[in-house]
Amino acid sequence: MRPPLHLDLLKEDERRSSSPIRLRVMMPLTALFLTTCVLVWWGLLFLRVHGQNQLVEELQQAVTSFTPSHTAVLELRAQEQEYHAMVHQLTLYRNSRNLFGQALSNLAEHVTENIQFTEMRIPPPSPPTVDPTRPSSGPTNTFELVALRIAGRTGGERPSEAVNTLLAALRTPAFTNLFRTAVIPKGAFRQDIARNPANHETLLFEITCDCVPRRFQ
């Protein structure tokens, strides 16, 4: 038995696809879909950029409104730091005080009748070296040397002995907590010839006491 013959009489341009969706329909739909997606993406991007710009403007306005307050806060912080530095300097000076009250009270017991003080002075310390780029309102060193200068005159019988007795008293434990050394400088024990050249009984004297240094800590 012979197989049946199948004769195809359709031309190539007359052939149709078995798919229900035609290519000529798909291409416009695909183009339209892609165009819509691009437009939607651009729209979302525009909205996002617009929202970001509005946020930036709002932040700039907020920063501008806070500028006076921020400036005032900075000024208050600078003032607070200045006051803190001043309090710190005052604390350093308070802690570095040399208390002369008790020593001077004890000194009165060792001053005889033939001794008269004419001067009792604490010379100012040498000015510290100040860096102009870093000004300071307080001490720039950790310690400061202090000295007490006592000047006076004495007369009567054995005037030099009275001064030496006073000098020895300044070297006793009652004063050594404040005075480290007590000396009569060279040439500071002399006759008082300026007031009366004929008077050889009155003597001028000076005693220099090196005190415990002031420590700023």
Structure confidence at residue 102 (pLDDT): 83
Same-domain check for residues 67 and 152: no
* 73 and 167 both lie in a single domain: no
- Same domain? 109 vs 206: yes
Question: What DSSP string runs through the chain?
Answer: -PPPP------GGG---SSSS-HHHHHHHHHHHHHHHHHHHHHHHHHHHHHHHHHHHHHHHHHHHHHHHHHHHHHHHHHHHHHHHHHHHHHHHHHT----HHHHHHHGGG--TTEEEEEEE-PPPPPPP--TTS--SS-SSSEE--EEEEEEEE-SSSHHHHHHHHHHHHTSHHHHTTEEEEE--TT-SEE-TTT-TT--S-EEEEEEEEEPPEE--
Flag whether 50 is in a domain.
Answer: yes
Domain membership flag for residue 163: yes
List the structure tokens of 91: 């604390």
Residues 107 and 210 in one domain: yes
113/176 same-domain check: yes
Question: Any idea what the CATH number is for the domain that residue 162 is in?
Answer: 3.30.1360
Q: Residue 140 has what pLDDT?
A: 58
d(CA 43, CA 40): 5
For residues 41 and 56, state if they share a domain.
Answer: yes
Same structural domain for residues 109 and 68?
no
* Total of domains in the chain: 2
Q: Is residue 157 part of a domain?
A: yes
Max alpha carbon distance in the chain (Å)? 178
Same domain, 89 and 195: no
Q: Write down the pTM of the prediction.
A: 0.54
**Structural domain span for residue 207:** 101-125+141-215
Clarify whether residues 145 and 204 are in a common domain. Answer: yes
| pLDDT computed for residue 141 by the predictor | 63
Tell me if 108 is assigned to some domain.
Answer: yes
Question: Looking at the domain assignment, is residue 61 inside a domain?
Answer: yes
Looking up tokens 């696809």, which residue turns up?
17
User: pLDDT tens digits for the chain (217 residues)?
Assistant: 566 666 666 566 555 555 555 566 677 788 888 888 888 899 889 889 888 888 888 888 888 887 888 889 899 999 999 999 888 888 887 877 878 888 888 888 888 888 889 998 988 876 555 555 655 555 556 778 888 899 998 887 788 888 888 999 999 888 888 888 899 998 888 877 665 555 557 889 999 999 888 777 7
What is the pLDDT at residue 32? 85
Q: Which of 74, 95, 116 is the last residue of a domain?
A: 95
